[in-house]
Structure 1
């Protein structure tokens, strides 16, 4: 799951964790057209098409430059919980399974798996795969890599994915067996992302606490290998000549990720060709870039992100659910979408998109979304709730960052809404990098009551979102605790049937929505810009865990 500052999961923005800032775009689907999955629309009519890919490249190239809104926290997969981290790491390190552009999964470093009993998962490991140092990957490396998520001294940000794991063992030269303490039919879905990454066991031992930092880098199996990291400036990867999958052999000799935290600077660099491409295009630049066809092409694609308010302190001003409800009702979300996202977003009452529920029947999914309570814009009712809760004049600290214009507008809208209903917000504006740490460091959140995140899910499993709201979870930022909710989520993990699992998840989702643990604002879509020099990548949120850069070559 992942977040944008703003993101997990898992979705940070997940910022982080899932958190960093993300651009939300409207996802209203209509009829299909050639090369597109659907049509995004607003009240004015056609807005954009959702593309499944960009044109195939016609040549190999020496290099290309890619824009990043913030620097990765780490390239250690155990701490890669945000957009910047995973945008880079997905091209260097690989997982047991792949997350494809259409959000299906397929074999990766594991060629298959078996589930001989409810407590056992057996993985067949791909043979003939080399690490970037030339050594061959074996089951020993897989077992060592996965085991880091259950080692307390590591403190993996993805430990919750391994909550039910009892042991991870090499049971053959190319076989790994995972045993759980209770049935867990969600565990396997997490292995398309960071929880399933494989690193050389020897490298992990040799690098120790320096693993994944700017001087040591990583030694994985992807189509690119780590070359250099200039803190605050750039990260450069070079093509790995002995990559095992010839269909995904990198078409560029190098890719350089350049850190451009200023949104206007990123947009200008894209238009001038100084930067060849980027994801998460600032919403106020979308129409500008769409019109600049001479400079490149803007694509829209599949996403799993929801922009939400996260209440990070449920002991202060937001302890009373009526205060949380009031703030949601004081926000005119339709107006917010138009102002912040230029209409490129759609409102929602859910913390997940529908496409991550696709294992369940349409009827089950419809029922899940229809059962969610709605908090429509109603300023007078919001003021009444504040008075009823005795919260007039209550202060709270709202952390934000200048990730892009949309994020700034959203922050101002929330602060304005809070003041209008009688609350007293104190805005703390942070750097993009510092904002990202709010999703991974509890100490960084001390004194903060509210933040905004674009939370993406990194698997087709809505439990990835709702599991982080259980008592004591790493990403349960507000410390919310509801035994009934915990029981429903835990029962869902044990449900093998997708419909049964979705039904239990739906009940948990309804509880979380009733208590407004997080406040959903709108859904996002993936945005990607490719300058007129390059092509090949797909505009899909799967870029978090798929070697997308390997597909980029010359037009």
Structure 2
């Protein structure tokens, strides 16, 4: 059976199940995304769509609410009893989906699991030195030093049942990138509002309501049926025919069609994810006619490539007026953003040519351009447009568009010259995310997403200060200064913030948040 057949079969089965459940008055939400969740193990990857889905099964000590503010979850309160000792009071009376009680032992085991050297999510809890049980409902997180955003990190660290992990030999996390799996990849045992009923990779994942959830439910769902459907046309057709209730993303070119249809509507909102172009700044290019030089090491060349891109044309023609052009690497809601710096240089091919000539590349050059073909909104179309725009200044971009997995394998392996990446600053929701991951010189835990090996000593020094500064005003000013340095040096070429674009059937109510993660414990079906 082909993947397409399995996906269509999954939708048909979901529709039939819904019809049968509907007779009993159940509220089933049938939803589809463009890709499948990677695994049920919440410590096995950092992929945002997967983490967003698993938020319905697993919970952390704290969570982001609809306004992206940190609020209590499995912890009811916290305080620094010492400068590097953060004490959490745990919620009493919480049970895991298998009925086991939630205690401090589960927190200790889960945080140690997430921070283990083999864990793919260890960078999401960078300041943790150790974790200690005080009593059954109290835990101390010991930090390596001051950490002003430790709570932000913890929104992305889910708590698993220690006994369940021990019974199923899953005390260490899976690593989906490294091909290491365990029982938690296809099974789960969380404390969240929904319980995993079944999991068929690439076909269907079904959740049922957790009637014993500790929180006050604001949703009225009884069941969630999730299907991965990569084809935009198939996803839209299933929504408009009534086979699906909720799709994400909704292709921008189909928004008007959805809104004109009988029984469906689009949800469009500003989003955090900034789409950008990273650049190889090592000694040599990988895909070029130049064998003994790398023009991308010259700031003037990087500026020329930036000025050659007509972002207003891309916004109008490709993004249907729904994106937000950006001169900075973070979106407006992110601390450190400054509107005064967010001034995009006008597209100017002649200025770009002059900069290339000044840098000694007046005759142009060839360069590789790597883009995913289904990870970001209209990603391949954007790269095709940029290829054409660069050709006007004498730069031939050898475009390679691949599936997201192959794209990021090549990028993170250091095999790209210019590459597209999107960054939402999550779970930090802070400019430090960009500074530490994308801009810092690679080394240890820093620069994990800097395969082009951009290096700036001034930025590195600011990043180190931002990491430990507890004064909010001083810290924000330093992050703003760092963003200006990155902009002026054209360390990375920012393009735009892509929009959140979902679509629902009439009567389905799902609040949107800028992190592009549906919080279905707030969803209702009329």
- State the TM-score, normalized to the length of structure 2: 0.83
Q: How far apart, CA to CA, are the structure 2 residues paired with 1:215 and 1:467?
A: 29
| Contact 2:270-2:499 within 8 A present in 1 as well | yes
Alignment partner, residue 176 of structure 1: 139
> Any idea what SS the aligned residue of 1:354 has?
coil
Structure 1 position 140 matched with structure 2 position 105: yes
The corresponding residue for 1:200 is 161
Provide, for residues 192-249 of structure 1, a one-character-per-residue CA deviation record: whole Å limited to 9, x for no partner.
2x2x31111233342434767786322111111222222222222222232211324x
1:543/1:322 Cα in 2 relative to 1: closer, same or farther (>3 Å)? closer
Partner of 1:350: 328
Question: What residue number does 2:13 align with?
Answer: none
Q: What do you get for the CA RMSD once the two structures are aligned?
A: 2.6
In the other structure, the counterpart of 1:261 is: 230
Aligned to 1:306: 274
2:340 aligned to which of 352, 357, 370: 370
CA distance in 2, matches of 1:243, 1:298: 30
Decide which of 461, 482, 485 is 2:456's aligned counterpart: 482
Structure 1: stretches of 5+ with no match in the other structure: 1-58
3-state SS in 2 of match to 1:412: helix
| 2:513 aligned to which of 540, 543, 549 | 540
Alignment deviations for residues 302-333 of structure 1 (CA, whole Å, 9 cap, x no partner)? 52222222335644343333222221111100
Distance 2:204 2:407 in 1: 19
Structure with the larger RCO, 1 or 2 (CA within 8 Å, 6+ apart): 1
Q: 1:451 to 1:207 in 2, by over 3 A?
A: farther
Equivalent in the alignment of 1:414: 386
1:387 equivalent in alignment to 2:357:
yes
User: Aligned equivalents of 2:64 and 2:201: distance in 1?
Assistant: 29
Q: Which moved more, 1:415-424 or 1:133-142?
A: 415-424
Is the Cα contact below 8 Å between 1:282 and 1:405 reproduced in 2? yes
Structure 1 residues 144 and 471, CA gap change in structure 2 (3 angstroms): farther
Count of matched residue pairs: 476
Instruction: Summarize the Cα distance change of 1:95–1:215 in structure 2 as closer, same or farther, 3 Å threshold.
Output: closer
Residue of structure 1 aligned with 2:315, choices 316, 337, 349: 337
Among 217, 232, 241, the alignment partner of 2:202 is: 232
Q: Does 1:281 align with 2:250?
A: yes
**TM-superposed deviation, 1:251:** 2.6
Residue aligning to 1:509: 483
**Does residue 243 in structure 1 map to residue 213 in structure 2?**
yes
Residue 92 (1) aligns with residue 57 (2): yes
Q: Deviations over 1:343-370 (max 9, x none)?
A: 112211111112122xx8xxxx6xx342
Q: 1:164 to 1:372 in 2, by over 3 A?
A: same
| Counterpart mapping for 1:422-501 below 5 A | 422-435=394-407, 442-443=412-413, 446-458=414-426, 459-468=428-437, 469-472=439-442, 473=446, 474-501=448-475
* d(CA) in 2 for partners of 1:212, 1:296: 40
Cα distance change on mapping 1:214 and 1:109 into 2, 3 Å: closer
Which runs of structure 2 are paired with 1:94-113 in the superposition (5 Å)? 94-113=59-78
**Equivalent in the alignment of 1:17:** none
1:327 aligns with 2:305: yes
Q: Deviations over 1:274-323 (max 9, x none)?
A: 2211233211111211222x222222335222222233564434333322
Q: 1:188 aligns with which of 148, 151, 155?
A: 151
Relative distance call for 1:493 and 1:131 in structure 2 (3 A) is same
Contact 1:302-1:539 within 8 A present in 2 as well: no
Check if 1:218 corresponds to 2:188.
yes
Larger Rg: 2
Gaps of 5+ in 2: 1-23, 175-179, 286-293
Greater Cα offset, 228-237 or 307-316: 307-316
Deviation of 1:395 (Å): 2.6
CA separation of 1:297 and 1:395: change in aligned 2, threshold 3 A:
closer
Question: How far apart in 1 are the matches of 2:278 and 2:163?
Answer: 40
- Does structure 1 retain, via aligned residues, the 8 Å contact 2:96–2:191? yes
Q: Which of 520, 525, 529 is matched with 2:499 structurally?
A: 525
* 2:19 matched residue in structure 1: none
> d(CA) in 1 for partners of 2:388 and 2:343?
24
SS in 1 for 2:365: coil
Alignment partners' CA distance in 1, 2:63 and 2:45: 17
CA 312–83 in structure 1, closer or farther in 2 if over 3 Å, else same: farther
The Cα offsets for residues 113-136 of structure 1, whole Å up to 9 and x where unpaired, read as: 101332221111111111111111
The answer on 1:162 being equivalent to 2:136 is: no
Aligned partner of 1:54 in structure 2 is none
